[in-house]
Structure 1
Amino acid sequence: MPAYGVGMVTRTALTGIAGLTSLALVGQAGAVAPLEWGAGPLTVSALPRVVYTAHRGGAREVPENSMSGLMTAYERGTAQVLDLDTRILRDGTMVVMHDATLNRTTYMGGPVQALDRRDWQGVRLRPRAALPGSWRSERPPTLAEVLDRFGGRVVLMTEAKDPRSLATLAAMIRKRGLTRSVLVNSNHPAVALRTHRMGLLSQLWRSARQMRTDRPERWRPFVDVLDVDHRARDRDLVRAVRSGIPRVWAHTVVTPAQRDRALALGCDGVITDAPGRLARTEGQRTPGRWRAGQRGARP
C-alpha cells in the first residue's frame, strides 16, 4: 500500500452522477487516495445508497479488461466499483481476461491457461473498432498490477472465472489488506460459500433463467452482493430484493430504461457496460419509466 505524506491538498472529484460527490486527497506524487481511507483502504461499507459498477471497465466505452480502460473509468468517476474478470495461467499467475481463449479480444489465439507469465508479456489486446475514441493496443494486465494500482482507492469486483484459482486470489487480496474492498464474484453458490469461508466478500450472479427457480434467501448467510439479470421477470427481481441479502445489483444494464426499471423494483445498484452514458442521464425521468409491478422486462 503506498504511503502518503502530510503535504497533501484536497480536491473535489465530481462523479458525474447527480447527488454523488466524493472527496479525494492528491499526494505530491499525484497518487489519489479517498478521504474515506482514514487508517485503511476504501471499503464496500463506504459505497453510496445506489451503486454504479463499470462492467469490465465499461466495455461499450473502453477496451474491456484493459489497464487503460480501467484507468479511464476510474478517472471519469462515473462508477464507484470497477469490475474485471480473472483467470490463472499454467504457472499460477493471475491475469485479467474474460474468455477462456485469447481469440476474441487479442491478436493471438489459443487457451489462456496454456500460457505462463513470460508468454503473457507478448499478448496484446485488440480494441474493438466500434469503441468511441482512439485506443492503442496494450498488454492485458495481471491481477497483481490491477490490485496494486487501484486497491483501496476504489472498490473492485473480480469474477473468478477459474474456481480453482480461489485460494490464490484470496491470498493476493489478504496480502494487500483488501478483504473488505474487493468483491469476489461467481455464478456458483458453492464458490460463493467458499469465498465467504475464506473471509472475503462474496458476490453471486444469476441469469434470468436461473432466477425463475432460485430461492435467494438461502444464500443470505454467505452472500454480500446478489448480482441479478435485469431481464428477469418482475416477481423474480422482487424476490431477490426481499431475500435479505444486503445488496442487490442488476446486470448488465446499458440503457436508462433498463436502469430505471431495476431501481424501481428495488435493486440498489446496476452493473453496466456504459457507465458514462448512464451518468449523463442520471436524474432524468425516462419516458414510460418502469414502476414496481409492471410486467414484461425489456430485452
Structure 2
Amino acid sequence: MAMAAVPLSAAGTGPRPGAGSPLVIAHRGASRHAPENTLAAVDAAYRRGLTWVENDVQRTKDGQLVVMHDATLKRTTDAEKVFPGRAPWRVGDFTAVEIARLDAGSWFGPRFAGERVPTLARYLRRLDHNDQRLLLEIKYPKAYPGIEAGVVRELRRRGWLNRAHVRSRLVVQSFCVACVKRVHQLVPQVRTGILGSPPPAGLARYARFVDEINPRMSALSSRWIKAVHRLRGPHGRPLEVYAWDVGKNTGVREARARGIEGVIT
C-alpha cells in the first residue's frame, strides 16, 4: 500500500494527515517490498512516497542498538547457519559485530542477499538522507533494562533531538507503559505513543505522558475512538490514533471511515 507523501501540520506535532486523508506509516519499512527493518525497506518506502516509517529497536549483548522485530534472529537472518550452536539465537545474546555478519535479506528474496541488520545509528542516517520520519518502537524493554536511556542517547548523538526532528519527525512508542513514561520523563519534548487499546476509563492517566494511543484495527470502536479524541496529551493537542494490523486493501478506507489519524501498515 502506498500513497503520496503527506504534508505535516504545525510545529510541535508528529505524524498528522492532510484533511480527510489518513496517514500511511510503513510498518517495518515497506515490508511487503523488501526485508523488514532493513535499509532496503526504508528505501522501498521512500520510492513509494511514504514519508513515515516504523521500526523496532533492541539491544545487543555489548550494548549496541539494532533494528530488529523478533526477540530472536532466527526468522529474518541466517543466524542458525552462521552460529549453529547458539540456539535460541536471542538478539541480546549476540554482540553487534556478530549480528553484523548475518544475512538479513535472503529469507525475503535472492536479490536482497547480503542485506544486513542495521544499527539504529545507520538507520537514522538513512532516514535523514531520505528526509523521512520515524515511529520508533522499543521492543521487549524488560529484557533490556535501561534501554530507554540508551535510545535517548543515540537519538541525541545522531541529531534527532534537535528542534526540527522533535517538531515533526519523531515519535517513540512501546507496548510497555512504564517504558513510554520513562522516555517522556527523559525527553518530555518528544512525542510518545502507547501500543494497545486501554479501556476508556483508564485513558486519562495515559494522556499525562503520551500523544498517541495505537491499537489493533480490530480493537477499534466508535466509542473508544471518541474517548481518545476527547483527551489532550502532554503537548496540549488531542490524542491521536494510528491503527496497526490492518488489511492490505482496506486500511486507509477504514481509517477514513472511522475518523482516525492513520494506519501503520
What TM-score do the two structures reach when normalised by structure 2? 0.77
State the percentage of identical aligned residues: 29
Q: Matched residue of 1:256: which SS?
A: coil
What is the total number of aligned residue pairs between the two structures? 232
**What is the CA–CA distance in structure 1 between the aligned matches of 2:227 and 2:33, rounded to whole Å?**
32
Pairwise mapping of residues 253-272 of structure 1 onto structure 2 (< 5 A)?
A: 253-272=246-265
Q: Does 1:170 align with 2:188?
A: no
CA distance in 2, matches of 1:107, 1:257: 34
**Amino acid of the residue matched to residue 179 of structure 2?**
V
- Higher Rg of the two aligned structures: 1
Residue of structure 1 aligned with 2:101, choices 112, 122, 130: 122
- 2:213 counterpart (226, 237, 254): 226
- Partner in structure 1 of residue 194 of structure 2: 204
Partner SS, residue 219 of structure 2: coil
Q: Superposed, which structure 2 residues align to 1:145-164 within 5 Å?
A: 145-151=122-128, 153-163=131-141, 164=145
In structure 2, relative to structure 1, the CA distance for the partners of 1:71 and 1:214 (3 Å cut) is farther
Q: Does residue 136 in structure 1 map to residue 107 in structure 2?
A: no
| TM-fit CA distance, 1:143 | 0.5
Alpha-carbon deviation of 1:239?
A: 2.8
Over 3 Å counting, the alpha-carbon distance change for 1:253 and 1:88 in structure 2 is same
Code of the aligned partner of 2:70: D
| CA-atom RMSD in angstroms | 2.7
Q: Match for residue 76 of structure 1?
A: 48
Distance in 2, matches of 1:43 and 1:86, equals: 24
Instruction: Encode CA deviations 1:3-47: one digit per residue, 9 max, x unaligned.
Output: xxxxxxxxxxxxx636x566xxxxxxxxxxxxx9xxxxx985575
Report which of the two has the higher share of helix: 2
Q: SS in structure 1 opposite 2:259? A: coil
2:28 corresponds in structure 1 to: 56
Cα offset, 1:212, TM superposition: 4.7
Matches within 5 A, 1:96-111: 96-109=67-80, 110-111=89-90
Partner residue of 1:186?
Answer: 174
Structure with the higher strand share, 1 or 2 = 1
Task: Please say if residues 211 and 232 of structure 1, whose CA atoms lie closer than 8 Å, have aligned partners that are also in contact.
Answer: no
Counterparts of 2:183 and 2:225 in 1: how far apart (Å)?
A: 24
Q: Distance in 2 between matches of 1:21 and 1:55?
A: 16
Letter in 1 for 2:227: R
How has the CA–CA distance of structure 1 residues 95 and 161 changed in structure 2, closer, same or farther, with 3 Å as cutoff? same
> CA, structure 1 residues 270+65, in 2 after alignment: closer, same or farther (shift >3 Å)?
same
Deviation by residue 1:92-133 (Cα, 9 ceiling, x = unmatched): 11001001111111111311111112212211114445x7x9
- Report the alpha carbon displacement of residue 168 of structure 1 after superposing the two structures with TM: 0.8
Specify the SS of the correspondent of 1:171: helix
User: What residue ranges of structure 2 are gaps of 5+ in the alignment?
Assistant: 81-88, 233-237
- Secondary structure at the aligned position of 2:213 is classed as strand
Deviation at 1:213, TM superposition (A): 6.4
Q: TM-score, normalised by structure 1?
A: 0.69
